[in-house]
Every structure is written in C-alpha cells, then in structure tokens.
C-alpha cells in the first residue's frame, strides 16, 4: 500500500491508503474505496482522565452481540480491542482504542456476499490503522 495523504481530525490523524477517499460529518469520518465494497468509519471522544482498558471493554460489550470475543490490539499510539461478527447479512469489525483521555471507535462493515472482495480492504485497514496518531494531546 502506498500512502498518499494524511487525514487530520482535531484529535487524531491517520495516513489514507491510495485509492481511498474520506467524507466527514459532525459524527465521524467515513473512508471508502472506489468502487465501494465496505465502509470504514472512525469517531472519537474524550473524557476527563485516561481511558482505561475497562472503559474500552465496557463500551465494546454494549455494542457487540453477546458471546463475541474481544482481541487485544495496538495501532500507532493507541491500545485497545477489536472484534468481528455477523449481523444479518453484514459482516462487522469494530475497534475500541484508547490513548490518554482519547477514545477511538472504528467500524468496518461489508455485505457478507462481498467477503472475498473485502479481503484487500481489510489489509488496507490494518495498514492505515498502524499509522494512527494522537494529535493535540495537551489540548485534551
């Protein structure tokens, strides 16, 4: 993957893979390829004091189906968890990541019928997440 540009939010940044584009709104940043296979979205929040592993697990357990296994991950400045599961005809992967008082919540969803095509996107997601950096930590 050649990295083309960096997406900068107020609190985090990430290099965007070639062929991907970003669309933002007040809730999140949405990253997609053309042609679109799946959607990768990132939102962030902060709290007073550091985000703990327990905070991330509690939030994850509210979001994912019962019995889904959390896997520990590390990307750039961030530590946290990821999980994969199926809901109806969609495959989902979610990430709950923390650094200091900042939490990143990311989702990737793709129709189950496009799973083979989504494998290349999954590799790009891993590479993009590996470049995740916190910004303006002092301002947090």
What is the SS3 string spanning 80-107?
EEEEEEEECCEEEEEEEEEECCEEEEEE
H helical segments located in 1-138: 53-63, 115-129
Q: What is the band of 2 on the pLDDT scale with cuts at 50, 70, 90?
A: very low
Q: What is the pTM assigned to this prediction? A: 0.90
Q: Which domains does the chain have, with CATH numbers?
A: 3-132 (3.40.1000.10)
Q: What is the band of 118 on the pLDDT scale with cuts at 50, 70, 90?
A: confident
């Amino acid at each position: 993957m050649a990295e083309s540009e960096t997406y900068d939010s107020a609190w985090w940044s990430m290099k965007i893979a070639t062929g991907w584009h970003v669309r933002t709104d007040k809730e999140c940043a949405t990253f997609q390829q053309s042609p679109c296979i799946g959607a990768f979205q990132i939102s962030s929040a902060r709290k007073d004091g550091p985000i703990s592993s327990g905070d991330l697990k509690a939030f994850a357990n509210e979001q994912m189906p019962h019995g889904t296994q959390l896997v520990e991950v590390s990307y750039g400045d961030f530590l946290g968890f990821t999980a994969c599961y199926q809901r109806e005809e969609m495959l989902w992967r979610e990430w709950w990541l923390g650094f200091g008082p900042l939490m990143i919540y990311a989702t990737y969803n793709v129709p189950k019928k496009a799973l083979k095509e989504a494998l290349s996107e999954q590799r790009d997601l891993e590479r993009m997440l590996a470049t995740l950096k916190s910004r303006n930590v002092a301002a947090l």
